[in-house]
Amino acid sequence: MKIRTDFVTNSSSSSYIIAYKSFPKIDRETINKYPFLNGFSEFLKDVLIDYGLYGETSEGEICKTDREVKNYFLNEYNWQDSDITFEALCKDNIWIEETYEKCATLIKEGMKILIKNIDYQDKISTHVIETLLKDKDNFILVREDK
Protein backbone atom coordinates (compact mmCIF):
# COMPACT_ATOMS: atom_id res chain seq x y z
CA MET A 1 0.00 0.00 0.00
CA LYS A 2 1.30 3.47 -0.91
CA ILE A 3 0.16 6.51 1.05
CA ARG A 4 1.39 10.02 0.40
CA THR A 5 2.93 11.51 3.50
CA ASP A 6 2.46 15.22 2.90
CA PHE A 7 0.59 17.76 0.78
CA VAL A 8 2.32 16.77 -2.44
CA THR A 9 3.69 19.39 -4.76
CA ASN A 10 6.74 19.69 -6.94
CA SER A 11 9.32 22.41 -7.32
CA SER A 12 7.33 24.24 -9.99
CA SER A 13 4.09 24.91 -8.13
CA SER A 14 2.35 25.92 -4.91
CA SER A 15 -0.68 24.22 -3.40
CA TYR A 16 -3.38 26.18 -1.60
CA ILE A 17 -6.35 25.28 0.56
CA ILE A 18 -8.47 28.40 1.03
CA ALA A 19 -11.78 28.94 2.81
CA TYR A 20 -14.04 31.61 1.35
CA LYS A 21 -17.50 33.03 1.71
CA SER A 22 -19.86 32.93 -1.26
CA PHE A 23 -19.32 35.72 -3.73
CA PRO A 24 -21.97 38.40 -3.30
CA LYS A 25 -24.54 39.13 -5.97
CA ILE A 26 -24.12 42.69 -7.19
CA ASP A 27 -27.40 44.59 -7.37
CA ARG A 28 -28.70 46.08 -10.65
CA GLU A 29 -28.26 49.68 -9.47
CA THR A 30 -24.56 49.11 -8.81
CA ILE A 31 -24.13 47.30 -12.16
CA ASN A 32 -25.80 50.21 -13.96
CA LYS A 33 -23.47 52.66 -12.22
CA TYR A 34 -20.36 50.49 -12.70
CA PRO A 35 -20.94 48.27 -15.76
CA PHE A 36 -17.47 46.70 -15.54
CA LEU A 37 -18.67 44.81 -12.43
CA ASN A 38 -21.21 42.86 -14.50
CA GLY A 39 -20.00 39.27 -14.43
CA PHE A 40 -17.16 40.06 -12.01
CA SER A 41 -18.12 37.29 -9.56
CA GLU A 42 -18.26 34.74 -12.39
CA PHE A 43 -14.89 35.94 -13.69
CA LEU A 44 -13.35 35.56 -10.23
CA LYS A 45 -14.78 32.05 -9.87
CA ASP A 46 -13.36 31.16 -13.28
CA VAL A 47 -9.88 32.35 -12.28
CA LEU A 48 -10.00 30.39 -9.03
CA ILE A 49 -11.58 27.21 -10.34
CA ASP A 50 -10.37 26.95 -13.94
CA TYR A 51 -7.09 25.57 -15.20
CA GLY A 52 -4.40 28.20 -15.63
CA LEU A 53 -2.31 28.94 -18.70
CA TYR A 54 0.65 26.96 -17.36
CA GLY A 55 1.17 23.24 -16.89
CA GLU A 56 1.02 22.87 -13.13
CA THR A 57 -2.00 25.12 -12.47
CA SER A 58 -4.80 22.67 -11.77
CA GLU A 59 -8.54 23.00 -11.86
CA GLY A 60 -9.63 24.15 -8.41
CA GLU A 61 -11.76 21.80 -6.38
CA ILE A 62 -14.58 23.27 -4.29
CA CYS A 63 -15.75 21.46 -1.16
CA LYS A 64 -19.01 22.59 0.45
CA THR A 65 -19.32 19.87 3.11
CA ASP A 66 -16.91 18.21 5.52
CA ARG A 67 -17.66 14.91 3.76
CA GLU A 68 -16.40 16.38 0.47
CA VAL A 69 -13.17 17.42 2.22
CA LYS A 70 -12.73 13.88 3.60
CA ASN A 71 -13.37 12.42 0.16
CA TYR A 72 -10.85 14.81 -1.39
CA PHE A 73 -8.12 13.66 1.00
CA LEU A 74 -9.04 9.99 0.54
CA ASN A 75 -8.95 10.33 -3.26
CA GLU A 76 -5.75 12.40 -3.41
CA TYR A 77 -3.59 10.89 -0.68
CA ASN A 78 -4.52 7.22 -0.75
CA TRP A 79 -2.88 5.79 -3.83
CA GLN A 80 -3.79 2.10 -3.89
CA ASP A 81 -5.89 0.89 -0.97
CA SER A 82 -9.52 1.78 -1.67
CA ASP A 83 -10.59 0.24 1.64
CA ILE A 84 -8.54 2.57 3.84
CA THR A 85 -10.59 4.74 6.17
CA PHE A 86 -10.15 8.46 6.65
CA GLU A 87 -9.10 7.80 10.26
CA ALA A 88 -6.36 5.38 9.12
CA LEU A 89 -5.14 7.91 6.57
CA CYS A 90 -4.95 10.57 9.30
CA LYS A 91 -3.06 8.24 11.62
CA ASP A 92 -0.11 8.25 9.22
CA ASN A 93 -0.59 11.87 8.11
CA ILE A 94 -1.45 14.10 11.07
CA TRP A 95 -1.39 17.21 8.84
CA ILE A 96 -4.41 15.81 6.95
CA GLU A 97 -6.43 15.53 10.15
CA GLU A 98 -5.40 19.03 11.27
CA THR A 99 -6.26 20.51 7.87
CA TYR A 100 -9.56 18.64 7.75
CA GLU A 101 -10.53 19.92 11.22
CA LYS A 102 -9.84 23.52 10.16
CA CYS A 103 -11.86 23.04 6.97
CA ALA A 104 -14.78 21.38 8.80
CA THR A 105 -14.94 24.27 11.29
CA LEU A 106 -14.92 26.86 8.52
CA ILE A 107 -17.62 24.98 6.57
CA LYS A 108 -19.81 25.04 9.70
CA GLU A 109 -19.30 28.82 9.70
CA GLY A 110 -20.75 28.97 6.16
CA MET A 111 -17.55 29.00 4.12
CA LYS A 112 -16.56 26.90 1.11
CA ILE A 113 -13.15 25.30 0.64
CA LEU A 114 -11.04 25.83 -2.50
CA ILE A 115 -8.17 23.44 -3.16
CA LYS A 116 -5.86 24.54 -5.97
CA ASN A 117 -2.38 23.94 -7.28
CA ILE A 118 -0.76 26.93 -9.05
CA ASP A 119 2.27 26.84 -11.34
CA TYR A 120 5.03 29.29 -10.36
CA GLN A 121 4.81 30.86 -13.83
CA ASP A 122 1.08 31.53 -13.39
CA LYS A 123 1.50 35.03 -11.98
CA ILE A 124 -2.16 35.94 -12.58
CA SER A 125 -3.61 33.14 -10.43
CA THR A 126 -0.98 33.71 -7.74
CA HIS A 127 -1.71 37.45 -7.69
CA VAL A 128 -5.48 36.85 -7.47
CA ILE A 129 -5.03 34.44 -4.54
CA GLU A 130 -2.65 36.80 -2.71
CA THR A 131 -4.97 39.77 -3.25
CA LEU A 132 -8.05 37.89 -2.06
CA LEU A 133 -6.24 36.67 1.07
CA LYS A 134 -5.79 40.29 2.17
CA ASP A 135 -9.56 40.28 2.85
CA LYS A 136 -9.36 38.27 6.06
CA ASP A 137 -13.14 38.43 6.63
CA ASN A 138 -14.01 36.60 3.42
CA PHE A 139 -10.88 34.54 2.55
CA ILE A 140 -8.80 32.42 4.91
CA LEU A 141 -5.63 30.57 4.04
CA VAL A 142 -6.03 27.11 5.57
CA ARG A 143 -2.83 25.61 4.14
CA GLU A 144 -0.16 26.58 1.63
CA ASP A 145 2.71 24.40 0.45
CA LYS A 146 5.42 25.72 -1.82
Q: pLDDT tens digits for the chain (146 residues)?
A: 444 444 454 457 889 999 999 877 788 899 899 988 888 777 777 777 776 666 678 888 999 999 999 999 988 887 666 778 889 888 888 999 999 999 999 999 999 999 998 888 888 888 888 999 999 999 999 999 87
CB contact burial 73-105 (16+ within 10 A = b; e otherwise):
bbeebbeeeeebebeebbeebeebeebbebbbe
> Does residue 87 sit within a domain?
yes
**CA 42 from chain center: how many Å?**
17
Q: What does the pLDDT read at residue 52?
A: 65
Q: What does the pLDDT read at residue 98?
A: 95
Q: Report the number of distinct structural domains present in the chain.
A: 1
Q: 18: domain range?
A: 13-145
145 touches 9 (CB < 8 A): yes
> Does residue 5 sit within a domain?
no
> Does residue 3 sit within a domain?
no
> Does residue 110 sit within a domain?
yes
> Does residue 2 sit within a domain?
no
**The model's pTM:** 0.79
Q: What does the pLDDT read at residue 4?
A: 46
Phi first, then psi: give them for residue 131, nearest 5 degrees.
-70, -45
> Does residue 134 sit within a domain?
yes
